[in-house]
Amino acid sequence: MPEPARRMTTRTDPHADPKDRSAALYRLLAWLSPSFPTGAFSYSHGLEAAAEAGTVRDRASLHNWIAAIVTQGSGRIDIDILSGAYRAAGARDHAALDAANRLGLAFRGTAELALESLQQGAAFFATDIAAWSDPFLDAWNPSEGVCLPAAFGAAAGAAGIALEDALLGYLHAIASNLMSAGLRLGLIGQTDGQRILAALEPLIASAAEAATRRDPADFGSATFAVDLASMAHETQYSRLFRS
């Protein structure tokens, strides 16, 4: 029987080993760093088409676009998948991990959004097990590929990192990548980008906390404008991004 994950946490715990807290924080920072090779910089999640159409054109509209994705779109779906994969990995249950991953692969509104999650998931998973080998993850071989939230959740669960921190970090990474895409599209400047992230801080914290107590039956998204923008992007003539 596989050994249980060693518990690491970035949460304040009077009984936790400071070395474990440091190791957990270090690993999360490494996974969520722009230098971690998932290729996230090459995807805009439909934002490029929305910018082309004028739907997103300034700081306020970009803030609203990102907020909707985080709370009602792929962000909401992803953190539910992440939570399921996290718990499956913590229990060393490959069947439950497969189920969470299949759900994450199926619930993508367009071909480009599916490609975005699948390719980033494969890159994240391959890099993680190469750098931080884990017997449970090494033995996992999903035949249909792995979506990003399942890969991230499985890695965090196998390492025993606090779920709340994994959720918060993941949503911040989504928001940061979309903000960066808006910056490269010329919608905002660098300072306005940081203003957006600052304004999103309580919303992201609330969304991460809600995911820890959400009923699994309350699963889904409602960001039709994002899906339509992604569909339009598939045939957009001039493009910087893959989605």
Instruction: Let me know if residue 8 belongs to a domain.
Output: no
**Mean pLDDT computed over 167-176:** 98
Who contacts 182 (Cβ-Cβ below 8 Å, separation ≥6)? 47, 51, 56, 62, 188, 193, 196
**51-67 confidence digits (pLDDT tens):** 999 999 999 999 999 99
**101-158 confidence digits (pLDDT tens):** 999 999 999 999 999 999 999 999 999 999 999 999 999 999 899 999 999 999 999 9
Q: In the predicted model, what is the mean pLDDT of the chain? A: 92
Instruction: Let me know if residue 35 belongs to a domain.
Output: no
Instruction: Let me know if residue 97 belongs to a domain.
Output: yes
Q: Are 30 and 214 in contact (CB under 8 A)?
A: no
pLDDT for residue 7 is more than 80:
no
pTM flag (> 0.85): yes
Q: Are 196 and 63 in contact (CB under 8 A)?
A: yes
Share of the chain above pLDDT 90, in %: 84
**183-225 confidence digits (pLDDT tens):** 999 999 999 999 999 999 999 999 999 999 999 888 988 899 9
Instruction: Let me know if residue 60 belongs to a domain.
Output: yes
Q: What CATH number should be reported for the domain holding residue 115?
A: 1.10.4190.10
pLDDT for residue 174 is more than 80:
yes
Closest CA to 125 of 113, 142, 111: 142
Closest CA to 86 of 143, 16, 167: 167
For position 24, what pLDDT does the model report?
86
Confidence of residue 14 (pLDDT cuts 50, 70, 90): very low
Residue at 231: amino acid letter: M
Instruction: Let me know if residue 107 belongs to a domain.
Output: yes
Q: Count of domains in the chain?
A: 1
pLDDT for residue 5 is more than 90:
no
Which residue did the predictor score with more confidence, 173 or 15? 173
Instruction: Let me know if residue 182 belongs to a domain.
Output: yes
Tokens 């995911």: give the residue: 211
Instruction: Let me know if residue 233 belongs to a domain.
Output: no
Instruction: Let me know if residue 224 belongs to a domain.
Output: no
Find the domain containing 56 and state its range: 45-216
